[in-house]
Amino acid sequence: MAAISPFSDLASLAKALSSKAISVPELTRFFLSRIATDTTNSFLAIDPETSLAKAAAAQKRLDSGDTGGQPPPGKGPGQGFSLVGLPIGHKDIFVTRDWPTTAASKILKGYRSPFDATIVEKLEQAGMVGMGKLNCDEFAMGSGNTHSAFGPVKNPWDIRAIPGGSSGGSAAAVAGGLIPAATGTDTGGSIRQPAAMCGLTGIKPTYGRASRWGMIAYASSLDQAGPIARTALDCAVLLGAMTGFDEKDSTSLERPSEDFANGIDEPVREGGRPGMPLKGLRLGLPREFFSDGLGTEVRQAIEAATAELKALGAETVDVSLPRTALSIPAYYVIAPAEASSNLSRFDGVRYGYRAGNPKDLEDLYCRSRSEGFGKEVQRRILIGTFVLSHGYYDAYYMQAQRVRRLVAQDFEAAFNSCDLIIGPVAPTVAWDIDAPIKNPLQDYLADIYTLGVNLAGLPAMSIPCGFGHGDHAQRPIGLQLIGRKFEEKQLLSVAHHFQHATDWHQRTPMAGVTK
């Protein structure tokens, strides 16, 4: 067996499988051995026998010449590669037949789904080998992965720090070399933020691009699935396999999937050339993203990344997203309102946790939900129920929906002046797991640069662009790229060119960073 780095990207592993330097079962056993050493609390469920059985099936596909429609590396045009035989972990918000699905909540502990989520099914059809379920904030509600019923996830770069949330288990597992890629969900930044804080690449596609069927719903008009991996190329290939119309999902757009990797290394705009692949591209810098609330170390990293993009030929223009601050209250009215409806199905009657010896039906409902749900989930259910109640619906929920429309209009106006928008993902680097939280709003403020994207249904991604300073020198920083609807290919291409010119995405916790 060839020597394999736990920090290899998917493209490198695909090449190793294609050249027979390693077999799928050997690769699977290698990452299972890595998972067995996990000290970050990233995984909630594994089943080595199941994963090895999937690996054997994938090896048969490769042996028969089935590469999932992709030519072997170096044998065809473009940068795409086969996903057959490559390992992946799934956020424990996607239902799976082969592993329990809990949404990191006591109320679903031990639950087994009779079917796979469409995202899980699509990636398995592409030949990927499922490695298990990954920790997350309970029902995807959180910004630090500290709200899991099964304990917080630690950031492999600095175990004192959060990995970001809610897809923190997905990001920590990839950053720590336990798996090369993972699925995540993004309701208000939950792919981009953990990717940024763990030094990875993650993309949230346009709302409706990826099926929500089998994704345990938090906020139905905001939730969207996407990949977390090491490189933009990896994410492009994964996103191509994950997206496409799903008739089982009423929110799925009747739009075919794309080969996002095809042409990813070509100039982004007409007139671009080698060395200047971003020539002619206009990058919008929202002045609201660079106000006093932005931490100095994050600001410096984003400014350096912007300079690198300009060196690749891009130009910058100042734009305004004047309702950025309003996206926080709008989101934290709309999302809890939808959550209060979605989570009403968890009642202790049909499945999941049930309180013992109830006195009557009301006692069963009350105690099952109060004992099964964590404090943050209870808080958001109560908020959501309040804003939807008689007398408050118009005052809060409808007002938030009006703000949502205005936030979307702000983005539309900004895109009249630029091709895509760039800025920070979060105001600070990852904070300490045990940092005192004065009130829940402190946690919510970390989402100020990401929430607007979800309210507007736009695609956005995070790519590594630097590290903090001093005591934070081991804590990564991410650059956010925001595009027009259905412009994922442009985002991925810009990210790919940036990663060709920099090595931030190649840094690993094992290799350390330069202070």
pLDDT in tens, 418-431: 999 999 999 999 99
Tell me the pLDDT tens digit for each residue of 58-75: 999 999 998 876 665 555
Q: Count of residues for the chain?
A: 515
The set of catalytic residues is 91, 166, 190
What percent of the chain is predicted at pLDDT more than 90?
86
Contacts of 171 (CB under 8 A, 6+ apart): 163, 164, 182, 184, 194, 195, 197, 198, 200, 202, 228
Instruction: Give how far the C-alpha of residue 64 lies from the chain's centroid of Cα atoms, to the nearest Å.
Output: 33
The answer, yes or no, to whether residue 438 has pLDDT greater than 80, is no
172-193 pLDDT, tens digit per residue, is 999 999 999 999 999 999 999 9
C-alpha R_g of the chain: 22
Average pLDDT, the chain: 94
pLDDT of residue 443: 77
Integer Cα distance of 467 and 189 in angstroms: 20
| 377, 218 Cβ separation under 8 angstroms | no
Q: Is the peptide bond before 166 cis (omega within 30 degrees of 0)?
A: yes
Chain position carrying tokens 């840094």: 507
* Res 515: pLDDT: 32
In this predicted model, what pLDDT tens digit does every residue of 361-400 receive, in sequence order?
999 999 999 999 999 999 999 999 999 998 889 999 999 9
- The pairing of strands 129-134 and 87-91 is parallel
Please give the Cα distance from 103 to 114 (Å, whole number).
Answer: 16
> Residue range 118-126: average pLDDT?
98
Measured in degrees and rounded to the nearest 5, phi and psi for residue 376 equal: -70, -40
| Residue 257 and residue 243 in contact, taking contact as beta carbons nearer than 8 Å | yes
Can you name the residues that pair with 481 across neighbouring β-strands? 422, 461
- Asked if the model's pLDDT at residue 77 lies above 90, the reply is no
Give the per-residue pLDDT at 511: 45
Who wins on pLDDT, 491 or 442?
491
- With pLDDT > 70 as the criterion, what percentage of the chain qualifies? 96
Q: Count CB-CB contacts under 10 A for residue 80.
A: 23
Reported confidence tier of residue 1, pLDDT bands at 50, 70, 90: low
**CA 16, CA 4: separation in Å to the nearest integer?**
9
Q: Classify burial at 369, counting beta carbons within 10 Å of its beta carbon; exposed 0-12, middle 13-18, buried 19 or more.
A: buried
pLDDT at residue 105 in the model: 97
| Average pLDDT of span 151-162 | 96
Residue-wise pLDDT tens digits, 468-506: 999 999 999 999 999 999 999 999 999 999 999 999 999
User: For residues 87 and 84, what is the distance between their CA atoms, to the nearest angstrom?
Assistant: 9
47-51 CB contacts, 8 Å cutoff, 24+ apart: 47/98, 47/99, 47/132, 50/98, 50/99, 50/130, 51/87, 51/129, 51/130, 51/131, 51/132
Residues 363 and 347: their CA atoms lie apart, in Å, by 11
Pairing of strands 315-319, 282-286: parallel
Which has the higher per-residue pLDDT, 498 or 440? 498
Q: pLDDT band for position 257 (50/70/90)?
A: confident
CA 382 to chain CA centroid, Å, is 26
Structure tokens at 65: 């010449």
Mapped onto helix, strand or coil, the DSSP state of residue 333 is: helix
Phi-psi category of 310—alpha, beta or left, where left has phi over 0 and alpha has psi -120 to 50? alpha
DSSP annotation string for 78-101: SS----TT-EEEEETTB--SSS--
Domains and CATH numbers, the chain: 10-328+397-506 (3.90.1300.10)
Could you give the angle at the alpha carbon of 445 between the alpha carbons of 441 and 451, nearest 5°? 120
Cβ atoms of 461 and 495 closer than 8 Å: yes
- Sequence letter at residue 383: I
Q: Is 61 exposed, middle or buried (0-12, 13-18, 19+ CB in 10 A)?
A: middle
* SS (HEC) of 152-209: CCCECCECCECCCCCCHHHHHHHHCCCCCCEEEECCCCCCHHHHHHCCCEEEECCCCC
Query: What is residue 83's three-state secondary structure?
Result: coil
Rounded to 5 degrees, what angle do the CA atoms 262, 268, 271 make? Answer: 125
Torsion angle, CA of 397/222/493/21, rounded to 10 degrees? 160
pLDDT at position 288: 97
Q: Is the four-CA dihedral 486, 89, 447, 330 of positive or negative sign?
A: positive
Q: Which two tokens stand for residue 361?
A: 């039906």
pLDDT for position 513: 37
Q: Supply 267's token pair.
A: 């100039």
Q: What is the model's pLDDT at position 60?
A: 97
What's the average model confidence in pLDDT over 134-142?
Answer: 97
Cross-strand pairs, 422: 481
Tokens found for residue 167: 């897809």
Mean pLDDT of 341-355: 88
pLDDT of res. 425: 98
403 has pLDDT over 50: yes
What's the confidence (pLDDT) of residue 66? 86
| Residues pairing with 424 in the sheet | 479
Measured in whole angstroms, how far is the alpha carbon of residue 223 from the centre of its chain?
A: 11
What's the confidence (pLDDT) of residue 514?
Answer: 34
Half-sphere exposure in the Cβ direction for 396 (13 Å, CA): 19
Residue 503 · residue 310 · CB < 8 Å:
no
